[in-house]
Amino acid sequence: MGDQCRGGIYHYTGGTWTPLGGSASNSITTDSSGGIYVLTNAGSGSDRAIWYYSSGTGWVQQSGSGTALAANWDTTSFTPGAGGSGTINPGGFYIVNSAGGIWYENYSDKSFARLPGSASAIAPTAIGGVFVLGYPSAAGGNQIYYYDLNNPGWTAEPGSGLLSISAYKNLYLTSSSGAIYSAALPQQTLPAYCSAYSTPSPNANSSPQPVWITDNSNTGARVVLYVVTGAPPAPPAGPSGTQTQYLAANGTLTNFTVGATAAPFPLECFPGSTHQGNGLTFELPPPTNAVQSAGFYIAYATPPPGGGVANPLTFTGVTAGTQVGDAGPNLDWNVPSYVSVPWDYVEYTLPHGITDVTQVDKVGLPLQVTQGSTTIGFASGQYENLLSAITADPTYNKLAASSQLNGRSVLARILSPSNGEDWGFPQDWWYNSTFNSAYSALSKGYVGYVLQKYQTTPQLYTLNGLNVVSGNYCATSDGSSNVLFYSVAGTSCSGLSGTPITMGIANTLEGVGPTDSYGVCPSAIFQMPYSGSGGTTPFTNQTQFYLWKAMVIDIARGVALQNGTHPIGGWDTSPPTPAPLSSFYLDPAFNQYAYLVHKYMIGNRTYALQYDEPGGLAPTFTSDPTQPLQITVWNIPTYSRATPTVTATPLPCPS
């Protein structure tokens, strides 16, 4: 964007003006995601080029040109009436040009729509309509008109004004004398079914948690929310069990019973929840045990035929061991309903606990979570960058799944390798030379290559920093089927002696047992089938378990072959000085999904492995229940992919 000697663009926040670079004429507008549209002051014609600024992409020129701009904050899609053309989807912006033409540019696919008539200025509302001033512009002011997008057509409104005009919940304009006038707009009419839903409110024994949900997805689809949380033990769970609750339509947290289904909360029934400023205040009871937490599940759905509330996810009360209720939606990875619903969740430990977003099994929505000065998740524009990077990889591009939503093909999710086999990802990639022919040592593919290197150059592993075990160990291999860990007093791995801890490659790295429902033997690199020692695990004690865990973390993070103390980055999930992303993903092969998700998350912090993320890369912070928890869903990219016909080629499970 060309710089001129005037028209500089600045952003004001926290009492400070910050230059954004570039320059603009007298038209500037901000969208609901915080992005900025401007008309450049470069050039000499009446219609000026349009530029867009976001923190994720910087300045990017847009199609078209004009004399005035206005971003669209309406979350509904519309089709203009007679004399108009195209479709107006959420997230774009209106353009008025020097000929008075009224255009709309969609953000998602850069397509254009047009309203009938002409205007000299425009002000869209958030209730399905736009105000304009008549054309051409007159020194004494222009008549005000309103175009109703719900029932397409123009009406003349009382009053007139000059070029300055704006509207959201209020209409503002400047008269020919320079006076500023405002008028309140009618409030959005809620659907009749919203009467069945009550705003959650605190009871006498709990403190409310303000939650603001901002929908910047630009899908035009309905947004629903589920709140599922732990609660005091109750029959039949017994004293040692947990009872799961869900937020019911009457606004109270209700115990799951067997067969009970959690209600979807339609955010359209709570207009304040869809933009920062009001939001819902949820009743989150104080914890009665150390593991109590809540999940805020956000899902998108096309309205059902005939209207009503969509219910895209299913949470059904079940009894599992000592737990009554459901901690997540009842969806498997290969069923159509799973990939057809864009959804994700934020985990919140009550009341002064950890808040996090997780990408262990998938990236479902580009969530950003902010409380006070702390922000985790995706920044604006980064989900699109992640999709581009994933689809550019010939092995990992199979993990991106598309869906039809509100008449558009959109990115439904990017599956992690552990759950992408039905979509064509080879889960046995690490030890099957069919998928990694360059590394066939020990006939174990890349895992064999790593262990061959360990046999000649043992690597130092430490358990120091864990509460349950400690000590230093040097990892090597017997050259055939076992990993050997020798206990050492110092940090040297030369002259190893004594009896090592032996772990079989088949059991601990390749995975063991019957094939899964897709015919693939589980790989212990991409998933974590064990939780400790004893029972059905291949480990006889916690030392074995944590040594295995450290090795697979470093293999997946591409540092198993790097010299240093393993796991590289240390065990601590929140050290004072986090390990930089440049410390990881350095080996010839690594978990590309984990690398890219880390790369495009704020501060490189995410749970992208099936293990805790040490080294300070965990996306967590300690919550303050007195401050609003702000959840933003950024743009969901347009994406289309046919249902894959290719599936992984499994090897027989090791014996």
| pLDDT, tens digit, 9 for 90 and up, residues 32-46 | 767 788 888 766 678
Give the H or E element holding residue 547.
helix 542-556
With a cut of 60, say whether residue 202 has pLDDT above it: no
Quick check: bond before 538 cis, omega within 30?
no
Q: Cα(149)–Cα(169) distance, rounded to whole angstroms?
A: 16
Give the H or E element holding residue 387.
helix 382-391
Annotate 301-326 with b (16+ C-beta within 10 A) or e (fewer). Answer: bbeeeeeebbbbbebebbeeeebbbb
Domain ranges of the chain: 8-184, 191-330, 360-626+639-655
Neighbours of 278 (CB within 10 A): 14
Closest of 165, 86, 89 to residue 131, by C-alpha: 165
pLDDT at residue 385 in the model: 95
Answer whether CATH 2.130.10.10 is correct for domain 8-184: yes
Query: Which residues, at least 6 apart from 80, have a Cβ–Cβ distance to it below 8 Å?
Result: 86, 88, 113, 114, 115, 116, 149, 152
Average pLDDT over residues 227-242: 56
Instruction: Write a three-state SS string for 335-368.
Output: CHHHHCCCEEEEEEECCCCEEEECCCCEECCCEE
Average pLDDT over residues 175-192: 77
Burial class (CB in 10 A: 0-12, 13-18, 19+), 634: buried
With a cut of 50, say whether residue 322 has pLDDT above it: no
pLDDT at residue 350 in the model: 62
With a cut of 70, say whether residue 47 has pLDDT above it: yes
Average pLDDT over residues 110-132: 89
Which of 159-168, 272-281, 358-367, 486-495 tops mean pLDDT?
486-495
Reported as a pLDDT band with limits 50, 70 and 90, residue 273 is low
Instruction: Give the angle subtended at the CA of 110 by the CAs of 104 and 116, to the nearest 5°.
Output: 25
pLDDT at residue 500 in the model: 97
Reported as a pLDDT band with limits 50, 70 and 90, residue 230 is low
pLDDT in tens, 206-229: 556 677 788 888 887 888 998 887
Here the tokens at position 383 are: 């989900």
